[in-house]
Amino acid sequence: MRLSSTNMQARKMLFAAILSICALSSKKILIYNEEMIVAACFIGFIIFSRKSLGNLFEMTLNERIQAIQEESQQFLNPNEVVPPESNEQQRLLRISLRICGTVVELLPMARCAPKCEKTVQALLCRNLNVKSATLPNATSSRRIRLQDDLVTGFHFSVSERFGPGSTLKVSIVELIREGLGVFKMVRVGGSLKNKEDE
Amino acid sequence: KITAAVEALHNDSDNIAFLENILDDLVKNGASGEAYQEALHLSASFLNRSPLDQFSILPLIPMKIGNLYFSFTNPSLFMLFTLSLVLLFVHFVTKKGGGNSVPNAWQSSVELIYDFVPNLVNEQIGGLSRNVKQKFFPCISVTFTFLLFRNLQGMIPYSFTVTSHFIITLGLSFSLFIGITIVGFQKNGFHFLSFSLPAGVPLPLAPFLVLLELIPHCFRALSLGIRLFANMMAGHSSVKILSGSAWTMLCMNDLFYFIGDPGPLFIVLALTGLELGVAISQAHVFTISICIYLNDATNLHQNA
């Protein structure tokens, strides 16, 4: 059905073109010289390129439109109601993992026996589990940002002080103390804010 | 012109009776006779004797003040046409107060054209704060859009290509280049002249090198205009010449020529495609060169 309708359209256009050429040339508007060949080639090129490249062009534009649509959908979501608890859990878990990760990264720089490393890791993981069991409800974005800033700050300050380039002799205890301190800050901040909200 | 047409038509004719007939008709009826009318009609088709006639500037509304001509010529007409085309296009796409967030096809294409320029500007002019970069954006954007649409409009058959005239492209490039130089002096003071001396050059070589750097610098203004003009003019004249030969082959009442006619016809088709590509790419090259010269002028030889 579609093919025949396109054919009908093409035939109609061809008929209209022939008729218009006859009319214009009889009225002596269309002068028969080489410019007519240029015009015919131009129209022929447009038809030809439409047939061969028309789909490509349409697809590119449609892709762009779809990408913009999806982007706008994504942006709409965070402005909606409170994010569900599972998201919040994941976020806090991620923060804790980052803190642990920072500490564990810098452990080899600290002077300590290999056994120490495993003990510290076990300690941190236990703390992590305890934490995830008692997760507070997060609602405000300001607090979220504060938590993130705390963790980033901890990461940078610890890397500076205990990192490979440092000349201070580090103590493993100090490192762990810092990590736990940040844990407490993040958790206390959460519970404080919760009390405020209530 | 009529004499030339008639001569071209009847010069080789051996048919005495035919010629006598025409002579009688002319003597009897003069200007209202059939022979005269036919000759007139034929001369119209011979009007473009030379392929360069398509570039002739005709004053449509002559205006003269003393020795200066301010006529409204056909380049002016076509520039107005391009301007109105661009404005109408943008207006219709952003109707109802700014179009939709999720664009349809037309709005998408306008957005793509509009988006193209900030990328150029940001890439090329590095090392400036955001505010200063945005100062140059409107001028470059207008140059690009206008140039693109002018080149494309020249592709329409029976129309006049504005940018195929050296005076127009030279005016554009020269004035832009003077603007760039002024910007360079404004930003760097006389230190701008240090642009001619790259870093790490031994002192005895310096005067020679300054001269050597200054000449290409001045030539940039010319080359920008020449590039655009030469591309447009060469494209259009070659299309005209080839289509002229195809037309002549068609007109001669000879079977062999008629069979061989699709050859030039196909070449004209391919050339039209090439012309379209050249039109778009020349606009792009012009704009990117301006961005590069701006970068040179404001950042001298430093990198971003």
Q: How far apart are CA A41 and CA A48, in angstroms?
A: 10
More confident of the two residues A83 and A91: A91
Q: Does residue B64 belong to any structural domain of this protein?
A: no
Number of compact structural domains in chain B? 1
Are B34 and A20 in contact by the 8 Å Cβ rule? The answer is: no
- Give chain A's contact residues with B (Cβ, < 8 Å): 28, 31-39, 41-42, 44-45, 48-49, 58, 61, 64-65, 68-69, 72
Contacts of B105 in chain A (CB under 8 A): 58, 61, 65
- The more confident residue out of B51 and B40 is B51
Res A135 pLDDT > 70: no
Q: Which amino acid is at A188?
A: V
Residues 6+ apart with CB under 8 A from A107: A116, A117, A120, A172, A175
Q: What is the mean pLDDT of residues B13-33?
A: 69
- Quick check: is B286 in a domain? yes
CA of B145 vs chain A CAs: smallest distance (Å): 20
Contacts of A41 in chain B (CB under 8 A): 243, 265, 268-269, 272
pLDDT at A137: 44
Most confident of A81-85, A105-109, B207-211: B207-211
B48 → chain A, closest CA residue: A33
What average pLDDT does the structure give for chain A? Answer: 69
Q: What is the ipTM of this complex?
A: 0.73
Query: B7 in a domain, yes or no?
Result: no
| Reported confidence tier of residue B211, pLDDT bands at 50, 70, 90 | confident
Q: What is the pLDDT of residues B225-242, one digit of tens each?
A: 999 999 999 999 999 888
Mutation choice for B interface testing from A21, A28, A36, A37 by most B CBs within 10 A: A37
> Which residues make beta-bridge pairs with B73?
B59
Nearest residue of chain B to residue A44 (CA atoms): B269
Which residues in chain A have Cβ-Cβ distances shorter than 8 Å to B100? none
In a domain, B233, yes or no: yes
Q: What percent of chain B has pLDDT over 90?
A: 20
Most confident by average pLDDT, A95-99, A110-114, B235-239: B235-239
More confident residue, B124 or A109: B124
pLDDT score for B119: 78
Does pLDDT of B103 surpass 90?
Answer: no
Q: Residue B74: pLDDT above 80? A: yes
Closest-CA residue of chain A to B47: A33
Mark yes or no for CB contact A33/B48 under 8 Å: yes
Query: Structural domain boundaries of chain A?
Result: 15-74+112-188
Cβ neighbours, 10 Å, residue A54 = 11
The answer to whether A58 contacts B105, with C-beta atoms less than 8 Å apart, is yes
**How far apart (Å, rounded) are the C-alpha atoms in residues B79 and B75?**
6
Domain range for residue B116?
74-298
Cβ atoms of B255 and A49 closer than 8 Å: no
Can you give the pLDDT at residue A82? 47
The reply to whether B84 falls in a domain is yes
Q: Is the pLDDT of residue B46 over 60?
A: no
Residue B304 has pLDDT above 50, yes or no: no
Say yes or no for a CB contact (<8 Å) between A42 and B155.
yes
**Counts for chain A of helices (H) and strands (E), in that order:** 6, 0
Which residues in chain A are closer than 8 Å to B44, comparing Cβ atoms?
Answer: 28, 31
> What are A176-192's pLDDT values in tens digits?
777 777 767 666 655 55
CB B228 within 8 A of CB B143: no
- Mean pLDDT to the nearest integer, B276-280: 93
Span B105-155, pLDDT tens digits = 777 778 888 888 887 777 766 655 555 667 788 888 899 999 999 999 998
CB distance A72–B102 less than 8 Å?
yes
Q: Which residue of A has its CA nearest to B105?
A: A61
Residues of B in contact with A25 (CB under 8 A): none
Residue contact B45–A31, C-beta within 8 A: yes
pTM: 0.64
Lowest mean pLDDT among A48-52, A128-132, B91-95, B298-302: A128-132
Are A42 and B157 inside 8 Å of each other by CB?
yes
Instruction: Considering only the beta carbons, identify the residue of B44, B155, B247 that sits closest to A34.
Output: B247
Q: Is residue B2 part of a domain?
A: no
